[in-house]
Structure 1
Amino acid sequence: MVGMRDVAKEAGVSVSTVSLVVNKTGYVSDDMRAKVEAAMQSLNYIPNELARNLYRNRTNTIGVIVPTILHPFFAALTAHLQREFAGRGLKTLLCSTADAATGESEYVNMLQRHMMDGIIMTAHTEHQPDYWTSIRRPIVAFDRILGEGVPSVRSDHEAGGRAIARQLIDSGARHVVLVGGPRSQFTEGTTFPTVRYHLTVEHMLADAGIACDYVEAGAVTDVVAHEATATAIFERYPDVDAIVGSDVVAAMALQEAGRRGIQVPTDLQIIAYDGTMAAELAGKRLTMVRQDFPAIAAALAEQMDRQIEAENKPSRGSQSESAGQSGADDPVQLGQIVPVSFIAGETTR
């Protein structure tokens, strides 16, 4: 196997010079770099990636924790994150907490042992904020607040909620049913992703005097329960004239309406929230709030880059310092917000 010493001998330079070229650190003249690169090409030298990473104190691997990849939203988010990180020369290590007995703990342990460079946390967690702030390694949260100093990215759910409510109010809806996760997670500082859009819709409909009921469809990991809930709405609320829920819920509600001979959108309006492939395959062009997956993935990757860069600065000694904590008005502290889009389809009036 060809090593650095062989390259150094071929190029007529020192091993340390070859190391600087391979690891892209320190100053090497253009002429010297050209000699080393020519020697590497001549000898078909392939740098040892593990050794390079150890030299840099990097693994070039980012952990992505999701509740489940069975849900279309997290499948789409994972795909975009993997594509985004790959474009930055990074590998993605996926953890589905619903399918791993140890949940996120194993990945946090790996992060603390420097077996990965950072974690993107997108799953609901039972851990208290001091758990996450004590890790002192690069962590970026999506759609949740993990603790002071841990940066976050989220979609503009308030804007999504306003767009939905305005559509329903303007179209003369009388009885709206919202479908979502456990209501017990609607608390201050919640890690439940879509609380903000549900609450915005409820408040605006209440102000307009429109009846609105909320139906729990189980945890986000229980996709089957979401499907069952969508079909049960018609029995529980025979006068419902608008249903709002995830892409899965909206698609199942549309199909159930067809089986019952209910005309959409004349008698029933349906609005999907997320804009994944599930919405595209519903059988009819759903009206939807689409989250911007490429922009979300890019924002999460950029925040992760900032955390890793800050951690590697000698003057930074803790996560609370290296995680972008530069004051109460720091936009990283407040959370980076990614716009959503309201797309009118064939299921609203």
Structure 2
Amino acid sequence: MVGMRDVAKAAGVSLSTVSLVVNNTGYVSADMRAKVESAMRQLNYIPNELARNLYRNRTNTIGVIMPTIAHPFFSTLTAHLQREFAARDLKTLLCSTADTDKGESEYIDMLQRHMMDGIIMAAHTEHPADYWTSIHRPIVAFDRTLGEGVPVVRSDHEQGGRLIARQLIDSGARHVVLVGGPRSQFAEGTTFPTIRYHLTVERLLAEAGIACDYVEAGTVADIAAHEATACAIFEQYPDVDAIVGSDVVASVALQEASRRGIEVPADLQVIAYDGTLMAETAGKRLTAIRQDFPAIAAALAVRMDSQIAADGGPASPSKNDSASDVDTQPTPEEVIPVALIPGETTR
């Protein structure tokens, strides 16, 4: 097998010069670099990626922890993250906590042993804040608060709530049912920013004198519970004239309304929150609050670059980012705007 010593001998340069060229570290004159690269081509030398990563203290692997990829929101976000990291020559190692027997602890152990460069944390965790801040390795949170010093990227859920409330108020809704996760997540000090859209809708509808009920549908990983809840709404609230929930909830509610002969949107408005492909394939195109998946993935990647650079490793290059993107320290929390995408299920 051809090694760097063979390349050095063929190029007539030192082994350290070949190392600098292969690892792209330090200064090498254009003449020397040309000699080394010519020798590499002649000898068909292929750099040992593992050895090069060890030299650079990098694995070029980012762990992505999701609660489940069965839910369309998290599968869509995962796809965009993989695409974003691939553009930066980074591999993605996926952990779906609800779909496997192992949780995030295994990934944290791998991170601490430098078997991956960083972790995107997008799943629920019961660890206290000091657990995450004590790891002292690159971690970026999505849509949850892990503790001071851990950067967060989230959607503007308050804006999403305002857009939903305005649509319902302007269209003359009288009784709205919101569907979401366990109400216990709404406690003071919650780590779930997503509750803000529910709270915003409730507040604005109350101010407008519109009845609003909240229905729990289990955890985000319990898809069956979300589907069952969407069907049960019609029995529990026979006068409901607007339903707001995830793409899953909204799609099932739309189908159940059709089975019951309820006209949408004349008698019932349905608004989805997420805006995945599911919102466009539910039978009618759902009116939806669309979270900006490309912008979320890009923001998470930029913050991961910054965290890795601060950890002592080189930030990963990206064909979409300028050098200033990783040289400046981003704010602890980045809020990504959402948009109301009109469909066929609102008036």
Question: In the alignment, which residue of structure 2 is the partner of 1:26?
Answer: 26
Question: In the alignment, which residue of structure 2 is the partner of 1:150?
Answer: 150
Structure 1 runs, 4 residues or longer, greater than 3 Å off: none
- What secondary structure is seen at the aligned counterpart in 2 of 1:22? helix
- 1:100 and 1:188 map into 2 onto residues whose CA distance is 30
Question: In the alignment, which residue of structure 1 is the partner of 2:323?
Answer: none
CA shift digits 1:97-128 (9 cap, x unpaired):
11233311110011011110100000011110
CA shift digits 1:63-92 (9 cap, x unpaired):
000000000000000000011001001000
TM-aligned CA deviation for residue 216 of structure 1 = 0.5
- What secondary structure is seen at the aligned counterpart in 2 of 1:98? coil
Q: Aligned-residue CA RMSD in angstroms?
A: 1.5
> Taking structure 2 as the reference length, what is the TM-score of the superposition?
0.94
Question: In the alignment, which residue of structure 2 is the partner of 1:342?
Answer: 340
Task: Give 1:256's aligned amino acid.
Answer: E
1:187-206 correspondence runs (5 A): 187-206=187-206
TM-aligned CA deviation for residue 192 of structure 1 = 2.7
1:301-340 correspondence runs (5 A): 301-312=301-312, 332-333=331-332, 335-340=333-338
- 1:25 and 1:313 map into 2 onto residues whose CA distance is 12
Question: In the alignment, which residue of structure 1 is the partner of 2:318?
Answer: none
Question: In the alignment, which residue of structure 1 is the partner of 2:7?
Answer: 7
Asked if the contact 1:85/1:91 (under 8 Å) is kept, the reply is yes
Question: In the alignment, which residue of structure 2 is the partner of 1:84?
Answer: 84
Task: Give 1:91's aligned amino acid.
Answer: K
CA shift digits 1:33-84 (9 cap, x unpaired):
1111111111111110100010011111000000000000000000000110
Question: In the alignment, which residue of structure 2 is the partner of 1:320?
Answer: none
Identity in percent: 80
Question: In the alignment, which residue of structure 2 is the partner of 1:321?
Answer: none
Task: Give 1:342's aligned amino acid.
Answer: L
Task: Give 2:141's aligned amino acid.
Answer: A
CA shift digits 1:5-48 (9 cap, x unpaired):
11111111111111000000010001111111111111111110
Q: 1:299 and 2:299 equivalent?
A: yes
Question: In the alignment, which residue of structure 1 is the partner of 2:321?
Answer: none
TM-aligned CA deviation for residue 332 of structure 1 = 2.3
TM-aligned CA deviation for residue 146 of structure 1 = 0.3
- 2:146 and 2:163 map into 1 onto residues whose CA distance is 28
TM-aligned CA deviation for residue 313 of structure 1 = 7.2
> Taking structure 1 as the reference length, what is the TM-score of the superposition?
0.94
Moved more, 6-15 or 169-178: 6-15
Asked if the contact 1:111/1:119 (under 8 Å) is kept, the reply is yes
- 2:279 and 2:6 map into 1 onto residues whose CA distance is 57
Asked if the contact 2:141/2:151 (under 8 Å) is kept, the reply is yes
Task: Give 1:340's aligned amino acid.
Answer: V
| Structure 2 alignment gaps of length 5 or more | 315-325
Question: In the alignment, which residue of structure 2 is the partner of 1:234?
Answer: 234
TM-aligned CA deviation for residue 331 of structure 1 = 6.2
| Structure 1 alignment gaps of length 5 or more | 315-323
Count residues in correspondence: 335
Task: Give 1:346's aligned amino acid.
Answer: E
Asked if the contact 1:125/1:191 (under 8 Å) is kept, the reply is no
- 1:289 and 1:150 map into 2 onto residues whose CA distance is 27
Question: In the alignment, which residue of structure 1 is the partner of 2:99?
Answer: 99
- What secondary structure is seen at the aligned counterpart in 2 of 1:332? coil
